[in-house]
Structure 1
């Protein structure tokens, strides 16, 4: 086998073994980039934005290749909640690039995420199973991602009309959270492989959405009453998020799960999202103590992302490398 053929074969095997939930890696990288930007570490923030964008591009190639070459597998994966990680990743990365004033890229990201959301949400709901586990909260996460990106664009560009559908997505996302929560198996806090953290992460992105809508309200001309409602709700949600974070952290100490699992990226995302939500609400609701919380919580998320990135690259390398032929 020539070097070109070997490299092509390795690349194909790598694309083949990437699971649909790998979008959580792009989600985590993107929200860590947002949080690092909010605490003023711009260079590190851009590094993580680059990593997240690179992962997103790889996943886009996987998405298209399976749609073209393996339609049956694509359909099977589109029916599952992990497929929604792509929607959430697109909105989170889109939010970060809007903070760089790349508004046109933000609009494109919102359009892509909305189309994917419209296609995937009905399929996921039709194949719903109970009891629910952590990954099912992606129903909320993907929807709130649209609210976050939409509210960010509404507040920073002239497209103020996006604020209203963003608020509708926020309310719908909260509804999805309750829908999953009432069917959630809390035994996942003991046996979950990492995605159980989305139990708190979905609430964290809902808090971020409330904070973004609080910032957008006066810009788009909403009433002071509506502005205060989003502001107060963001504080209440933030307190609940910190409570969830504490419970999840304690569960990790009681039932440590140290082996590698791709679902651990769904642990990094809520950790980074809790930091980003804290920093955002600290500014929009004049609660300085939340800024301290956000600054502290960003670093465990960064450390976990570094560990997971190294472990994920190593795992892909080992599973995609060709097995040596005896006697070769």
Structure 2
């Protein structure tokens, strides 16, 4: 009996936004460590994935509104915001400030619509995707701070500070709703809890580099970056220990939500090193970055195997 199979990308949105996030942040890390050619390879892949998912997003919005509405109020929908901001941050490093600003505007327009829909449907004992409310918000902060540093726009620096503080509040809200059994049983997205701390540390580091903040404010931001990075590393150690204790080797699309926090941890360590002058953090960031690259390749291989195993229509 023949079986109809949807196109290979049909299952991806919205959870696959984490694949864009993971790919783009690895590109950022490779750029920061001087591996520019590799960084641009990962950047091209991130842009291609972003365009694919953006196109599918628009198709569903225009032709399958019921499905779009059903997905828009789930936490994975916020990967659309986070992926856009991480990609914009990498493009800004190329000097493409206009494009990065356009992506910030797009992400900022999507953010309240999706955030409100997600928060209205929050429940108790949620999986790790609950932390995407923090990741998406801090993503806005990172990109706004990046653009502020690039052209000296003061209001973007203040906007980044507001996003940073709000992101921390949302992290606390997600934490009280997180089902801690997911640390033991989660299929991959439990790592977002650590990734949210990493991107928060990155935002604080970016803010501390701005001339807008001096004296006590500057010291507070540097301290916040170090504390958040420390909490991030602690969370990652706990999550890694749980993975060793109870291995979950089977591919799941939520494994892209494991790769992203690893890559974000590397980027946070690298940026925090630049902000604080602690050289050991740069070394740590380089080590974690290559772990993220290896994890990205492993998840990609798992995705490829899962696609190859699907039945296909022969007639």
- TM category, shorter: over 0.9
- 1:213-292, aligned counterparts within 5 Å? 213-216=207-210, 218=211, 221-292=212-283
Distance 1:63 1:121 in 2: 17
Distance 2:9 2:239 in 1: 32
1:117 aligns to 2:111 (yes or no): yes
1:323 aligns to 2:313 (yes or no): yes
Distance 2:302 2:63 in 1: 29
Instruction: Write out per-residue CA displacement over residues 67-101 of structure 1, whole angstroms, 9 at most, x where no aligned residue.
Output: 11110000000010000011100000100010111
Runs of 4+ in 1 over 3 A off after TM superposition: 313-319
- Structure 1 position 115, deviation (Å): 0.7
Distance 2:157 2:242 in 1: 38
Question: Could you tell me which residue of structure 2 aligns to residue 6 of structure 1?
Answer: none
Instruction: Write out per-residue CA displacement over residues 124-175 of structure 1, whole angstroms, 9 at most, x where no aligned residue.
Output: 0111111122010000000000000000000111322200011001000000
1:101 aligns to 2:95 (yes or no): yes
- 1:135-284, aligned counterparts within 5 Å? 135-216=129-210, 218=211, 221-284=212-275
Could you tell me which runs of 5 or more consecutive residues in structure 1 were left unpaired when the two chains were aligned.
1-8
Question: Could you tell me which residue of structure 1 aligns to residue 46 of structure 2?
Answer: 52
- Which of these two proteins has the greater Rg computed from alpha carbons? 1
Distance 1:30 1:188 in 2: 26
Q: SS where residue 312 of structure 2 aligns? A: coil
After the TM superposition, which of the residue ranges 230-239 and 152-161 deviates more from structure 2? Answer: 152-161
Distance 1:107 1:19 in 2: 24
Q: RMSD value over aligned CA atoms?
A: 1.5
Question: Could you tell me which residue of structure 2 aligns to residue 128 of structure 1?
Answer: 122
- Structure 1 position 226, deviation (Å): 1.1
Between the two proteins, the alignment pairs up a number of residues equal to 312
Question: Could you tell me which residue of structure 2 aligns to residue 299 of structure 1?
Answer: 290
TM-score after normalising by structure 2: 0.95
Distance 2:272 2:142 in 1: 13
- Structure 1 position 308, deviation (Å): 1.8
Question: Could you tell me which residue of structure 2 aligns to residue 3 of structure 1?
Answer: none
